[in-house]
């Protein structure tokens, strides 16, 4: 049994995102899991750090993700402390914050303790560092853990298209090209489907409302 932990706060994401993520995992994971939702989130998505003090192996996820393939590889990872994905689409920031697999250990409990001693300081500090208020949680985690074991990058996709980010427009073809350089194959292949190697697709930047994506993605979403 493994715990899958998420946060849900505010009004941006309807509870449909929780339902569809849980169903997507159930369809693509062969084991049993508990789906745990934290709604008391004064620190918004940063409060997923509260899950670092755990009693058994735990997966921490963002809810703006589409499960598109088998999850056993990710859920059965055996990290020394934390397993996560490299941010292969953006050099300079290594850890992607949408998926962590952690184990119970003193080091992870200390990550939680460090953050909650002064959450406002860390949220402000990393928001300044990345240039966007409230962002940078993945950097806090990266700088606070002692050991990261990297999950296979080909299992993780990202989606954003024609989005203004960091003073320029970001296009989906850029991510597709980066994934092709990484794996030798496209992340999205014609006519309209995600690469079969993928397990997760994270909808990022201001393209993170999945139901507003291209028609074929909306069909996948509606079928969850």
Question: In the block, which residue shows the tokens 């993170």?
Answer: 208
Question: Hey, how many other C-beta atoms are within 10 angstroms of the C-beta on 192?
Answer: 12
Once rounded to an integer, what is the mean pLDDT over residues 34-63?
Answer: 97
Residue 177 has pLDDT above 90, yes or no: yes
148 or 173: which carries more pLDDT confidence? 148
- Classify residue 142 as left (phi > 0), alpha (psi -120 to 50) or beta: alpha
CA-wise closest residue to 99 among 193, 19, 2, 189: 2
**Six token digits for residue 128:** 């300044």
| Res 93: pLDDT | 64
Residue 91 has pLDDT above 80, yes or no: no
**Six token digits for residue 156:** 């993780």
Backbone angles phi, psi at 72, to 5 degrees: -60, -40
Looking at the domain assignment, is residue 129 inside a domain? yes
Question: Hey, how many other C-beta atoms are within 10 angstroms of the C-beta on 25?
Answer: 21
Structural domains counted in the chain: 1
Looking at the domain assignment, is residue 59 inside a domain? yes
Once rounded to an integer, what is the mean pLDDT over residues 53-70?
Answer: 97
Looking at the domain assignment, is residue 137 inside a domain? yes
Question: Which domain range does residue 109 map to?
Answer: 2-152+213-222
| Res 105: pLDDT | 97
Helix, strand or coil, per DSSP, at residue 163: strand
Q: What is the CATH number of the domain that holds 26?
A: 3.90.550.10
161 or 28: which carries more pLDDT confidence? 28
The Cα–Cα gap between 180 and 116 comes to 40
Residues in the chain: 224
């Amino acid at each position: 049994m493994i715990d899958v932990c998420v946060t849900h706060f505010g009004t941006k994401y309807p509870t449909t995102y929780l339902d569809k993520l849980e169903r997507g995992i159930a369809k693509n994971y062969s084991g049993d899991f508990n789906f745990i939702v934290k709604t008391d989130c004064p620190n918004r998505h940063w409060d997923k750090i509260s899950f670092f003090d755990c009693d058994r192996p735990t997966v921490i996820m963002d809810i703006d993700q589409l499960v598109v393939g088998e999850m056993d590889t990710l859920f059965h990872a055996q990290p020394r402390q934390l397993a996560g994905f490299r941010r292969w689409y953006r050099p300079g920031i290594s850890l992607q914050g949408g998926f962590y697999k952690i184990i119970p250990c003193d080091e992870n409990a200390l990550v939680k303790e460090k953050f909650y001693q002064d959450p406002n300081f860390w949220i402000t500090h990393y928001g300044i560092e990345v240039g966007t208020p409230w962002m940078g949680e993945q950097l806090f985690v990266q700088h606070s853990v002692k050991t990261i074991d990297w999950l296979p990058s080909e299992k993780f996709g990202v989606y954003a298209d024609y989005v203004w980010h960091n003073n320029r427009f970001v296009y989906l073809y850029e991510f597709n090209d980066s994934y092709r350089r990484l794996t030798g194959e496209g992340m999205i292949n014609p006519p309209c489907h995600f690469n079969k190697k993928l397990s997760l697709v994270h909808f990022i930047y201001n393209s993170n409302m999945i139901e507003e994506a291209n028609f074929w993605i909306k069909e996948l979403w509606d079928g969850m």
